[in-house]
Amino acid sequence: MIVAGLGFSSAATVDSLRAAFERASSGQSVDALATVADKEGHAALVEFASVTSLPIQFIAPADLTGQRTLTCSNRSRATYGTGSVAEASALAAAGSGARLTSPRHISDDRLATCAVAIGGQT
């Protein structure tokens, strides 16, 4: 399974999410989206999932804590205990043995990030 993990601010728009997603997922066939559970119901996320026809997996904040990531945002580290919500969400959703195929990419407006992981089990 290939999962695109998303991290974003409350001000993020569908365009923010799309820009980060397109950069991170270029050349990959993504099966699902993932993000931290406290983003559930965010209007831009709901619309983006609808436009892409991808299911969303919501990851409990505790499951992000301590996830090893390739990049580090001080805000993500302080809030969720991981360097990147996007990377940690993708890894958690992709399952045991998952690895990143694309590290965190940031939208031009800096309101959204996306990273892609592939599961270790096929």
Under 8 Å between Cβ of 3 and 57: yes
* Weakly modelled stretches of the chain, pLDDT under 70: 121-122
What is the CATH code of the structural domain delimited by 2-118?
A: 3.30.420.180
Closest CA to 46 of 60, 58, 56: 56
Cβ atoms of 27 and 116 within 8 Å: the answer is no
Give the pTM: 0.92
pLDDT value of residue 121: 61
Which tokens go with 59? 């990851």
Determine the pLDDT at residue 113: 97
User: Are the CB atoms for 25 and 100 separated by under 8 Å?
Assistant: no
- Domain residue ranges of the chain, discontinuous segments joined by +: 2-118
User: What backbone phi and psi angles, to 5 degrees, belong to 80?
Assistant: -120, -5
Tell me what pLDDT residue 122 has: 47
The pLDDT tens digits of the residues spanning 78-107 come to: 888 888 999 999 999 999 889 999 999 999
- Separation CA 52–CA 63 (nearest Å): 25
